[in-house]
Amino acid sequence: MDIDGEGEGEARQVQVRFVTKLQHPYKVQQTSISIPANLTRFRLSALVNNLLFTTNEDWTTEPFDFLIDGELVRMSLEEFLIAKGISAEKVLEIEYIKAVAPRKQETPSLHDDWVSAVDGSSDGYILTGCYDGFGRIWKAGGVCTHVLDGHSGPLTSVCNLMPKVDSIADQVVATGSKDRTLRLWKFGEEDPIDQPKKIRSVKILRGHTGAVQSIAAIPSSDMLCSGSWDCTINLWNTSTTDTNDSVSVKKRKKEGQDMEALSEGDAITTLVGHTQCISSVVWPQRETIYSGSWDHSIRRWDVETGKDSFNMSCGKAINSLSVGGESSALIAAGGSDPVLRVWDPRKPGTLSPIFQFSSHSSWISSCKWHDKSWYHLVSASFDGKVMLWDLRTAWPLAVIDTHGDKVLCADWWKGDSVISGGADSKLCISSGVPVL
Amino acid sequence: MRSKRNLTSSDEKDLQKRKEDNLVEIEKRIEEAETSSDDSPFVSDFEDSENDDNETLIGDEGSTDESGSQESELSDSEDEDAVQSSDDDEGDDNAVYANDDKDSVEDNNHSSDSEVDEHDNVGVEDNIDGSDDSREIVEESDSSEDEVAPRNTIGDVPLKWYKDEEHIGYDLSGKKIKKKEKTSKLDSFLARTDDAKSWRKIIDEYNDEEVNLTKEEINLIRRMMDSKAPHADFDPHPSYIDWFTWDGAKHPLSNAPEPKRRFIPSKWDAKKVVKYVRAIRSGQIKLDDKPKEEPKFYDLWGEASSADRQGLAYIPAPKPKLPGHEESYNPSLEYIPTQEEINAYQLMFEEDRPKFIPKQYTSLRSVPAYEKAVQETFDRCLDLYLCPRVHKKRINIDPESLKPKLPNPRNLKPYPTTCYLEYRGHKGPVVTISAESTGQWLASGSKDGTVRIWEVETGRCLQIWDIGEPINEVEWNPELPILAVAAGQDVFILKTRCGNDEHQKKIEDLLHVQPQVGADDSDTNESIVNWVQDDTHGGIRLKHFKTVTKVEWHRKGDYLSTLMPSGESRSVLVHQLSKKLTQRIPFKTKGIHVTSAFHPTRSMFFAATKKDVRVYDLLKQKLVKKLEPGVREISSLAIHPGGDNAIVGSKDGKLCWFDMDLSSKPYKVLRCHGKDITSVAYHRSYPLFVSSSDDCTAYVFHGMVYSDLNQNPLIVPLEILRGHSSFDGRGVMDCKFHPRQPWLFTAGADSLIKLYCH
């Protein structure tokens, strides 16, 4: 009788056991409990927090995300089980992880013009490129320490050549600009001054006949590659110390300034094949370069031979490309439509993307894999939003809507922050993203 | 045996009487047999007819036995005569008896009687009709089996003679038999309903008693009613026993051959059948006897069936109008015209006046005769008689099948569908746009007097010139990053900061005008155009004498054509940038020019007036072709990159596709826009073309031109692009394709430029 009478009103119960890979303070008892099946992520999170609170008195609430069979729960538990065809009779193992969403928005760092490029590969600082032709170094707390002064056109791409080096004095960064040149920069000893220090470039790399759109370097190496509007990818030598191999050494005399040695470099190799603007280049391993172009193709280049070993047509003009994910082999790309696509080039015989994320409403200007996680991606779009993605669900994990205009670039910083720059001249930092 | 037969022959008169009703006899006999076994007195109505027999038979029972056997003997001997075999009578008879004795076992009471019966029945088979009499005699003899004492002896007289008497007759001893008291009908009815077996009871009025029928008797009656033999044991078809043997028994009786009629169908039957068949065919004999249903009412207004008509095609007369509510004798008030209306009818022309004025009557009876009845009937007859009638041929075609078979737009991807980027900044309607040949930059001119250069990928405005006058046209040079701008009476050729150093150097050289050039020009070209260095905007300024509406670069980037609609004979000018020279088109032109275009590959020039498009050969300096779109006013013109096709947009919203090899008339006219077409454009590499209109839409079409000359171009409408809002009656003012991507730029009167991507 009670089954008939009360079972109607209440939701079904499922036996669950919460497991986690998180360390001690986050662990709950491994006993199975019975919970109503209509719980959503939010209520599950509250439940786990309650469980943790019972064991630990000074527990502060922490949002959690839940995984069942390697898939993030994005609807009520019951619907999820029905959709996935999982039996509700057995004890369900739910793994919980910390919810990947920014906990804090730092005060945005204001620029003089559109922020077109950002690099967060070094933990100590953020490197930004701006449409006013200056590159900037930002320390945590929104302090600009250095201004890279030298380009005559808007910067389009910036790159840390030695992200692993801690001391800023040894850092070398590269910038690409619409003035068709690339420049390498070095920082002197750090001075505790209020004004940002203006530094001049140490090397100019000339050779492109069109605007440089994207540059990429292989970490801890002296090579740099750049994609340009002249449909070529150039490889450059970035060694700044020995000027012997550089073709010409010019001494430039500036009024009121001391003499400055400015070495110029030429391209080592040119990779030709694309028919339109190369909007994005990535150099993940020593021997391969990936490039995305407006001619609707993504190519993989063999650095040794200079030939493209893989040519994939994807139907849309590519704006941004990122290689990462599972064993650093997946290609994520965004382009002239609101869909972020992920391909697996190891899959033979198919060119269809394995994941498609389509929550944006305009062009995707930038996308980037998290360099530690296999699952997490950040994407920026002209609709003014930055979105965090997890391959295990089709919905965005978080939408960062702090920009008031087009977002032009986005990157991860320090593994737990998302930095993005846009047409509102702001560099936004969303910190406290517990990816790992 | 003989003497016994004589004894019985004395009853001959009775026998004759018996012969009359044969069935009664048989029934009687069987009833007797039943009753005798049952010992229940069975009396029936026909008992009276046997009265005499009863007397005699009861008198000597033994003699009846004898007569029976003797009778059968007689019949037997007659059979023997027929087969002509003389045998000993006695012996034969004995044999019969012996045989019958075995058969008759059940009736012990009167074994002899039944034996005779059985024997007789056996004999019936071979007897012919004549022997019936003798058998009945036998039956009569054994029918007297009444042992019950008080029996009526009145004989075969009508019972009504005793109706009023107290008695019903006399018994054997001559005493009166008293009538029994009648029970009332109600009582008898009640008794009947109570008694389940009452249906077996019948009243014997002759003896005035109730008789209960036994089961056997009822079965007997039933069998007789089914016209079967009454006795259950009676076999009507016993197998023939041939008692005799003779030598030729295995031979047929007759030696005659079998007659033919035994095995051929009868000729007369065949004749009869043929007669019937003929009668059926001619319809004299109807096999379906269902009466044909006649329609009850004649359908006066129904469609006249012309199926049964022969000869000329029958054209039914047009139906007169059916009477409606207003013809009713009591129409609703709204049908009845007021007096003013009736008066107004008088002022109308005779033809316009209504023929019938509805009027209200209290009853149908008070409706007068229709005064125009004869006139109208006559008119109608005249109409039917004098007006020739023809069949209206209706073609039954599915309208869907008339639609051209077009491929699915999904298979014709890519083409622009969605607006993702907007270029904001202009303060007034954007009149003209132009995309740079690499697709990196976009130039736009607006009514607010500014020319802007945009970065396509981000929508950033890179450069602004404030010309001060409304811009009519901007056009990128196809080779160098320089811009030709038509504003007011001037054409500016502007340097842009785009392009690399090499380009910049070239541009510097090219856009340098000697200040004294004007003196040189004065004698040759009567100073149609002044080439002046313009330092404020950075470039050259070409001063024209009338408003310039159109500039276009030749594909090599050295020549520039300008168009002044009100310039009359000098309305179309061609400038050479490298030599800073200006010349007018070396042929006579007619009308006011609207737009012009260079041929994309050959040295030909298109000049469009309001009515037609003329194609000139620049080398031979003559008119090659004239295209006549047949529209109200041409507004725009675009040449297919292949050079053999052109589209012309008009101010009445029509878009005409010309296949110039085919005809000077349009190959296809697309009426899709509700307002003026402002601009048309072909894509440089994709098979796409577009038309933009003041109704704030741009239509994207698939326009495939095949290299096979026999195949006509394929035109498929793909997409309607909306998004611009109307301003001051203008909608989309210009549209250009991205030179390399299947993207479309549209310039709107709402001062926006939109980029539609695939």
pLDDT tens digits along A105-149: 888 888 888 898 998 888 888 888 898 888 888 887 778 888 888
Residues A74, A40: Cα–Cα separation, whole Å: 7
Residues B144, B47: Cα–Cα separation, whole Å: 10
Judge whether A405 is closer than 8 Å to chain B, CB to CB. Answer: no
N-to-C CA span, chain B? 135
**A316 to B758: CB separation less than 8 angstroms, yes or no:** yes
Cβ burial, residue B442 (10 Å; 0-12/13-18/19+) = buried
For residue B643, the tally of other CB atoms under 10 A from its CB is: 14
Task: Select from B439, B457, B460 the Cβ nearest to the Cβ of A131.
Answer: B460
Strand partners, B408: none
Do β-strands B550-553 and A288-293 pair in parallel, antiparallel, or remain unpaired? unpaired
Task: Select from A210, A277, A406 the Cβ nearest to the Cβ of B458.
Answer: A406
Judge whether A362 is closer than 8 Å to chain B, CB to CB. Answer: yes
Q: What residues of B are in contact with residue A317 (Cβ under 8 Å)?
A: 741, 757
Q: Are B484 and B554 in contact (CB under 8 A)?
A: no
Binding-face residues of B in 685-744 toward A, CB within 8 A: 740-741, 743
- pLDDT the model gives residue B631: 85
Residues A359, A339: Cα–Cα separation, whole Å: 7
Indicate whether B290 belongs to any domain. no
Binding-face residues of B in 484-503 toward A, CB within 8 A: 500, 502
Question: What's the length of chain A?
Answer: 436
Q: How far is A201 from chain B (nearest CA, A)?
A: 21
**A336 to B500: CB separation less than 8 angstroms, yes or no:** no
Indicate whether B492 belongs to any domain. no
Tell whether B218 and B345 lie within a shared domain.
no
Judge whether A236 is closer than 8 Å to chain B, CB to CB. Answer: no
If chain A, 436 residues long, is cut into consecutive pieces of 10 residues, what is the mean pLDDT of each piece? 42 81 78 82 86 80 83 83 81 84 83 88 85 85 82 87 71 86 79 72 84 84 86 83 45 41 75 88 87 89 85 87 85 88 83 87 90 88 90 87 88 87 88 79
Indicate whether B352 belongs to any domain. yes
Indicate whether B435 belongs to any domain. no
B6-20 core/surface letters (b: 16 or more CB in 10 A; e: else):
eebeebeebbeebee
Q: What residues of B are in contact with residue A382 (Cβ under 8 Å)?
A: 420-421, 459
Backbone angles phi, psi at B732, to 5 degrees: -85, 125
Q: How far is A336 from chain B (nearest CA, A)?
A: 7
The one-letter code for the residue type at A319 is: N
Strand partners, B201: B212
- Kindly identify which residue of chain B lies nearest to residue A279, measuring between CA atoms: B457
- pLDDT the model gives residue A379: 92
Backbone angles phi, psi at B462, to 5 degrees: -95, -35
- pLDDT the model gives residue B305: 58
Tell whether B182 and B48 lie within a shared domain.
yes
User: What is the H or E stretch that residue A411 is in?
Assistant: strand A407-413
Task: Select from B460, B500, B741 the Cβ nearest to the Cβ of A317.
Answer: B741
Which of B419, B438, B458 is the best substitution to test chain A (most A C-beta atoms within 10 A)? B458
Rounded alpha-carbon distances, angstroms, from residue B220 to B28, B108, B216, B225, B342: 11, 21, 6, 9, 98
Tell whether B210 and B61 lie within a shared domain.
yes
Task: Select from B420, B440, B757 the Cβ nearest to the Cβ of A229.
Answer: B440
pTM for this prediction: 0.64
B46-82 core/surface letters (b: 16 or more CB in 10 A; e: else):
ebbbbbbbbebbeeeeeebbbbbbbbbbebbebbbee
Residues B41, B722: Cα–Cα separation, whole Å: 118
Indicate whether B181 belongs to any domain. yes
Which of A181, A336, A383 is the best substitution to test chain B (most B C-beta atoms within 10 A)? A336
Q: HSE of B88 in the Cβ direction (CA atoms, 13 Å)?
A: 4
Judge whether A114 is closer than 8 Å to chain B, CB to CB. Answer: yes
In the numeric block, which tokens belong to residue B338? Answer: 């007021």
- Kindly identify which residue of chain B lies nearest to residue A316, measuring between CA atoms: B758
Task: Select from A114, A294, A338 the Cβ nearest to the Cβ of B741.
Answer: A294
Residues B443, B445: Cα–Cα separation, whole Å: 7
**B439 to A294: CB separation less than 8 angstroms, yes or no:** yes
- The 3-state secondary structure of B580-616 reads CEEEECCCCCCCCEEEEEECCCCCEEEEEECCCEEEE
The interaxial angle of helices B2-9 and B61-83, nearest 10 deg, is 110
The one-letter code for the residue type at B754 is: K
Indicate whether B12 belongs to any domain. yes
Q: Are A153 and A179 in contact (CB under 8 A)?
A: yes
Asked which of B300, B335, B360 is the last residue of a domain, the reply is B360
Tell whether B147 and B17 lie within a shared domain.
yes
Which residue stretches of B551-708 are H helix? none
| CA-wise closest residue to B156 among B39, B40, B26, B24 | B24
In chain B, the largest separation of any two C-alpha atoms, in whole Å, equals: 185
pLDDT tens digits along B628-654: 888 888 889 999 988 888 999 998 888
Q: How far is B392 from chain A (nearest CA, A)?
A: 56
Judge whether B684 is closer than 8 Å to chain A, CB to CB. Answer: no
In the numeric block, which tokens belong to residue A378? Answer: 């950040």
The one-letter code for the residue type at B726 is: S
Judge whether A380 is closer than 8 Å to chain B, CB to CB. Answer: no
Task: Provide Rg for chain B, Cα atoms.
Answer: 65
Q: What would the DSSP string read from start to end of B361-391?
A: -SSGGGPPPPTTHHHHHHHHHHHHHHS---P
* Domains parsed from chain A with CATH numbers: 2-98 (3.10.20.90), 104-431 (2.130.10.10)
| Distant-in-sequence, close-in-space partners of A38: CB < 8 Å, separation ≥ 6 | A11, A12, A76, A77, A78
Tell whether B85 and B210 lie within a shared domain.
yes
Q: What residues of chain B score a pLDDT lower than 70?
A: 1-150, 303-311, 514-527
- pLDDT the model gives residue A83: 84
**B438 to A363: CB separation less than 8 angstroms, yes or no:** no
- The 3-state secondary structure of B17-86 reads HHHHCHHHHHHHHHHHHHHHHHCCCCCCHHHHHHHHHHHHHHHCHHHHHHHHHHHHHHHHHHHHHHHCCC
Size of interface A-B (CB pairs under 8 A): 53
| CA-wise closest residue to B7 among B77, B76, B56 | B56
Tell whether B89 and B219 lie within a shared domain.
yes
| Distant-in-sequence, close-in-space partners of B59: CB < 8 Å, separation ≥ 6 | none
| CA-wise closest residue to B43 among B186, B192, B174, B169 | B169
| Distant-in-sequence, close-in-space partners of B218: CB < 8 Å, separation ≥ 6 | B200
Indicate whether B343 belongs to any domain. yes
Domain total for chain B? 2
- pLDDT the model gives residue B580: 80
In the numeric block, which tokens belong to residue B517? Answer: 């050039």
Q: How far is A280 from chain B (nearest CA, A)?
A: 13
Q: Are A203 and A238 in contact (CB under 8 A)?
A: yes
| Distant-in-sequence, close-in-space partners of A434: CB < 8 Å, separation ≥ 6 | A98, A99, A100, A416
Tell whether B208 and B339 lie within a shared domain.
no
**A336 to B440: CB separation less than 8 angstroms, yes or no:** no
- Kindly identify which residue of chain B lies nearest to residue A424, measuring between CA atoms: B460
Q: Are B749 and B432 in contact (CB under 8 A)?
A: no
In the numeric block, which tokens belong to residue B642? Answer: 């292949």
Indicate whether B123 belongs to any domain. yes
Q: What residues of B are in contact with residue A338 (Cβ under 8 Å)?
A: 420
Domain region containing B78: 2-225
Judge whether A369 is closer than 8 Å to chain B, CB to CB. Answer: no
User: Of all residues in chain A, what percent are helix, strand and coil, respectively (each to 5)?
Assistant: 10, 45, 45
Residues A87, B173: Cα–Cα separation, whole Å: 113
| Distant-in-sequence, close-in-space partners of A206: CB < 8 Å, separation ≥ 6 | A180, A181, A264, A265, A266
| CA-wise closest residue to A333 among A307, A347, A312 | A312
Strand partners, B476: B483
Task: Select from A114, A295, A362 the Cβ nearest to the Cβ of B420.
Answer: A362
- pLDDT the model gives residue B47: 41
Q: What residues of A are in contact with residue B421 (Cβ under 8 Å)?
A: 362-363, 382
- pLDDT the model gives residue B74: 40
| CA-wise closest residue to A99 among A29, A42, A33, A17 | A42
| Residue carrying the six token digits 């720059």 | A421
